[in-house]
A and B are shown apart, each in its own frame.
Chain A
């Protein structure tokens, strides 16, 4: 696949590959997404806006330049923004692949970091020499102002021009709590939302603090995704109940929505409104209890995003998908093309009682 190298947020000409519940693969223009969704279905997106999470500055004790990438936070509370999990890089910038970046000076608890107008202290290391828990000085207002003035969005080495903050906000971006864009949301437009509504398809949002997607370090990448706080608003929880009662499908826009809803549903299958901390990993062995289909970007095998798809479809489908994506020149990464993967019907039958839609209910694929 080809890496999408420019943040064309409008996605004109973007492609969409769909795998339906019978494993059939089809190709679409992404703008036709609404046609793949049926009346009675519920589309749920992540409305997190992206923080300028990349902060350049200095490690005071080592007197060396560093880049700090904020990676996660314990809660979504905008008044408690002192504490972050962060990844520290040495010299260089995004033009160097993350994997090839220099090491930062040795980090220790109590070390001071000066990041433009912001100052922070390393509270502790998190079982890795570059992964730290840090605490900013100052009030919430001062920290927001510092982030707004000095922070830059996390950049990608495959996008040659630096991304501006506006490149990283989806059309529905609201609470600034994500560390990288919930990029499946770039497939949405307000026009598409209007056409969904006109077709009797409900739209709802959750807020999920999407964390770093890659660290450039194999041992750290294996720990991804980090714990991510999320919030399910009351109207979204109600719409899920209503959709399930009417045998509609829950369609997640992005892997973060899958993670949040499956975490919320992990106790007894029901999804309550409120805040939670997603600690789960979705993989082959995950029994999906909330989401029927996921719209996501195309990702490389082995990434957590890719492994998540194994909960939806058997490996055989993913092998065919990879072949189709290559053959049809799909673009990968955050600003690339999309796939819509519906949970395979076979695994469906193995889950008796799951929101009442019997396997083989005569429901036809859309086309």
Chain B
């Protein structure tokens, strides 16, 4: 997994030009007061995203499975909302959505980051228990699907009100390339990646944008579980990946809002 090429699942251009003197505040502070929910927010990339987006001025709520994990982040960061819940459980989805909306009062951006690796240590498919695959699919495909559906009304409201709405699903190059022993994870991430593309086809025109992004191989607990002997110094820091993801969301929002500005009718007095 460390020697392969990195494939980015998104064709986003991260560059943009802002006309000098353009009085477009959201472009200068794109995350100011944006309401963002992140799943799997108590460790690894999720926690790095919580930190990065708080730093950029967003209002952030995160979801994590364990009460002590949520408490640890709340104690450290303070100005963030934490929700205890498991996105792989059907019964948890609406209580999670309720608390996220209660905390933020609405939602502009959803980042489906929580992931399950499948069997650890990694196994060839022939030795993968069906339950391992089920768990990976529940966490990586059904969970994001259910949570997106539960929050879609709020995201649509945000899009209609000209705030822009983005759902970012954290993917992997394993979603594109077949690597031995990564079967359960890879199949689930491939499904998530493809769901993302269909969501975008269906709802992009109404202003809710869906992107799937491969953060690369990071120095996280998930990667350590998959590749225990990897040299951490060769891996990307989660904070770096979080910056890149925040930039990608920023670029998507900017593009979405430009479309809104170009097509919305002139204000009436």
Contact = CB atoms under 8 A, between A and B. Distances in A.
Interface string B140-171: 00000000001011101100111000000000
B117 to A, nearest CB: 28
A241 B268 contact: yes
B102 A78 contact: yes
A197 to B, nearest CB: 8
Contacts of A137: none
Contacts of A149: 95
Given A166-B93, A174-B106, A148 B98 contact: yes
A228 to B, nearest CB: 18
B95 A176 contact: no
B268 A176 contact: no
Interface in A124-154: 140-141, 144-145, 147-149
Interface residues of B, number: 32
Nearest to A79: B105
Nearest to B203: A190
B114 to A, nearest CB: 18
Nearest to B104: A78
Interface string B80-106: 010110000001011111110111111
A194 B97 CA distance: 25
A242 B102 CA distance: 33
Contacts of A164: 91, 94
Contact of B150 (A77, A147, A169): A169
A204 interface: yes
Contacts of A78: 101-105
Contacts of A65: none
B160 A233 contact: yes
Given A78-B105, A205-B157, 11 more contacts: A47-B157, A140-B103, A148-B95, A172-B152, A172-B156, A175-B154, A176-B97, A190-B152, A190-B203, A205-B160, A242-B265
Interface of B: 81, 83-84, 91, 93-99, 101-106, 150, 152-154, 156-157, 160-162, 202-203, 206, 265, 267-268
